Structures are given as C-alpha cells and as structure tokens.
Amino acid sequence: MKKLLGITLGIMTALGGFVDLGQIVFTLQAGALFDYRLIWSIVLGTAAIILYMEMCGRVAVVAKEPVFAIVRDRLPKPMGIVALVASNLLNVITCAAELGGIAIILHLLTGWPEKLLLAAAVVALFGMVAVLRFQWIERVFGMAGLLMLVAGVSALMLHPDWKALGWGLLPRTPGGNPGQSLRYCFFAVGIFSAMLMEYEVHFYSSGALEEDWKPKDLPENFMVASLGSVFGAGLTVALLAIGALVLLPRGIYPEQLTTATLAIATPLGHRGLRLVLLGTLACLTGAAVETMLSAGYNICQFYNWPWGKTQKLRDVPVFTASWMASLGVAALLVLSGFRPLQLVNISVVFGMVVMPFTYYPILRVAMDKGVMGRHVNSRADTIIGMVFLALIAIAAVAAIPLMIATHSGKP
C-alpha cells in the first residue's frame, strides 16, 4: 500500500510538470499547426525526464542531498546564486500563470468574477498547503489529477490515425517557407523543454527526502519516476492529437485556455466539458502547489536552513515565509493585469535558458562514485545523461532566438 501511495508523488510531479497551463495550450497549438509531427519531441522529453528524475531521487536517497544543495556545492558560488534567483523567478512566474488559469476555469464553472475567484483560490491553496503534510499534499493533488484522463478518452473518441501518429515518432520538418520550419523548431524545443521544467525535479527530490526514502526504496524510485512520467507523456500525446484532429482542420490556433478546453471536450458533450474543466483545474492546482513549494525548498536547501512540510510551520520559518511569499507575489502578478498565457510564454522560454544549471550538477553527483558508492550511475546512464544534457544546452541556446524569430510560434 505504501508503494501504491508513493506513486502519487510521480503522478503529481508529472501532471504538475507535463500537464500544466503551458503544456496544455502549447501542445494543442503544436497539434493545430503541425499535425502529429512533433510526437517525437514528447518521447524525447519523456526519456530525458525519467532519466534525470530517477537520478534526483537516487541522489536524494543515497547522498541525502536535494537538488539545490547539489547546485550550491557543484557550481561556483556566483553561478549558484544566479541559478537560485533565476529558478525562483521562474517558479513565481509559473505559479502566477497557473493561478490565472485556475481563476479562468473557476469562472467557466461558476460564472463568478475572475478576480474574486482568484482571491478565493489563493486563500484555499494557502490553507491546504499550510494544514496538510507533504504525504497528503501529494496524494490529494496526485489523485485529483487523474481526472485529466478525460483528455485521453477524448483523443480516443476522435479516432486518431494511428499510422500517421506512428510517423510522428520520426522528426520531419513540414517544408514550405523558412518561417514555418523555424516555427516547427520552436515548438520542438518548447515541448522538449516543457517536459523537463526544473521545478519538477526540485519538488521530486525534496519529496523523496520528505518521505524519508531509504536505499531499499530505490526500485520504487525508478517505478515512481517512470510510471508518473509515462502517464504525463501519454496525456501530452493525447492533447497534441486533439489539436491535430479538432483545431487543424478548422484552421484554429488556440490562444486562450477557453479555446483549449472546448477543443478537448469536443467529442464529450456538455457533461464532458465539466469533466475537462475539473481535470484541468486539478492539474493547474497541482502545478501551482509544486512551484510555490519549490521556491521554499530552493532557498532553504541552498543556504542549508531547516525546511519541509513534515515540520510545523513555526519550526521552519524561512521555508514557510518563502512559499507564502511565492504564492502572494504570483497572485499580485495576475491581479496587476498579466494574462496567464503571457506568463506562460515567458516561463517556457525562461525555463529553457536556466535548465542546464539544474541538470549539469545532478549528472555530476550521480556519476561520482565517491558520493554514490554502489548506487553510482552505470556507464549507460552517464552516456545517455550526457547526450540529454547536450540537447538541453542546445535548447537553452536556441530558445530566445527562436522565440524572437517566430514571434513565440504564432502563425
């Protein structure tokens, strides 16, 4: 039973990282523009996050070091501080995007004013995170996120072309004008990077320590990382297929969350739309919780201050103040007029740029036999990790030029 419940950490991490606001809209846009041609980038990103998430969990268990303790110790101090500031800025921007999306979904469900619903959502999230211990946070939001299976049901009801979907596993540029090829590259880089958003591994490694995993739990670590990521990837493929089947034939490019949810619910009818909204709400809420807690984890781990949701609030004052401040600043960003999808575009590109600062130190520790002992990376893990790190670095360098050249992928 413990192992079954432990999988909820992987589910929550995967849904919060894979199926957040950015991925929902971004993946539907990719399907609306390029049919199934970008499925390969989902598969590539899934393989990379499984590898690095497993490494993060293994390092946390064996070395008792979460991600930002590794960043502190393996990067030069000025670079480590830059990574800390950039990562927490990314957390706040992403949290703000999720909060804005939550307000939109609640408005669609109730018809009430978005600002009022935003305030209510912030109060509810504050209360839940303040009261619940880590195990219950992951179980509540992880299991609630399973409602997003409705996207998979919707994709199957649309009867995708399985042969064409299979061809999507092979990278193929769409041809045509150079602008379209650049746009294809932008979405390929964006999808790959969105699968690897760094707050996923911050939250995951911290969760392994919160739950006090031992070396005997390492097989569970691999299972949790793999099953959760594959589940999230499957839903991402479903979203891309919905974009290809519903939006592409109609020439619709979704730039609003409302358009995205209506597309997902197309074959399901009115009742299905309500399920889609509830599933989307669960995923956005899980992502908001991951990002706000990651802000507290990052600061305290970097400076070696007490942290953890297993502790009483007053016993970890900096951690408590950090996640509360992250939630508050994110809410202010939304109230100040930033639209959720504006924030998503910033977070996706900014996330690509800062990603190497997280994944390089993780690989260094996981391949260090002096630290990891018999749980050190195998030669294959290290080689594959280096290949993915090179791809992450290429994505980081290409992100901003591609965003400028394609106007954030807009046709």
- CATH value at residue 220: 1.20.1740.10
Residue showing tokens 């299991």: 143
pLDDT at 1: 42
Domain assignment present for residue 354? The answer is yes
87: which 2 tokens? 């990562």
- Helix axis angle, 356-366 to 67-74, nearest 10°: 90
CA 47 to mean position of chain CA atoms: 14
Residue of 12, 3, 4 lying closest to 200 (CA atoms): 12
Q: How many CA atoms does the CB half-sphere of 197 hold within 13 Å?
A: 35
Distance CA 190, CA 197 (A): 10
pLDDT at 17: 54
3-class DSSP state of 376: coil
Domain housing 173: 2-406
pLDDT at 5: 45
Domain assignment present for residue 186? The answer is yes
pLDDT at 2: 46
Distance CA 135, CA 244 (A): 38
- Helix axis angle, 199-210 to 2-18, nearest 10°: 160
DSSP state, residue 244: I
387: which 2 tokens? 């290949």
Kindly give, in sequence order, each residue whose CB lies less than 8 Å from that of residue 194, ignoring residues fewer than 6 positions away: 18, 22, 23, 26, 45, 348, 351
State how many domains the chain has: 1
Distance CA 163, CA 179 (A): 27
Distance CA 13, CA 138 (A): 8
Instruction: Answer for the pair 191, 41: CB distance below 8 angstroms, yes or no.
Output: yes
pLDDT at 152: 95
312: which 2 tokens? 């009483």
Sign, CA dihedral 231-233-235-241, equals negative
pLDDT at 363: 97
Going from the first residue of the chain to its last (411 residues), give the mean pLDDT of each consecutive group of 10, the final group possibly shorter: 51 60 89 97 95 95 93 93 92 94 96 96 96 84 82 96 95 86 94 87 90 87 84 93 98 93 94 92 91 96 95 95 97 91 79 89 96 96 97 93 91 85
Q: Which helix (H) or strand (E) holds 225?
A: helix 218-242
Residue type, 257: L
200: which 2 tokens? 């996923």
Domain assignment present for residue 411? The answer is no
| Burial tier of 342 (Cβ tally within 10 Å: 0-12, 13-18, 19+) | middle
121: which 2 tokens? 């959502």
Residue type, 335: L
Distance CA 218, CA 199 (A): 21
Supply the pTM of this predicted model: 0.93
Instruction: Answer for the pair 102, 285: CB distance below 8 angstroms, yes or no.
Output: yes
Distance CA 103, CA 124 (A): 12
Distance CA 88, CA 108 (A): 30
134: which 2 tokens? 């880590």
Task: Compute the residue count for the chain.
Answer: 411
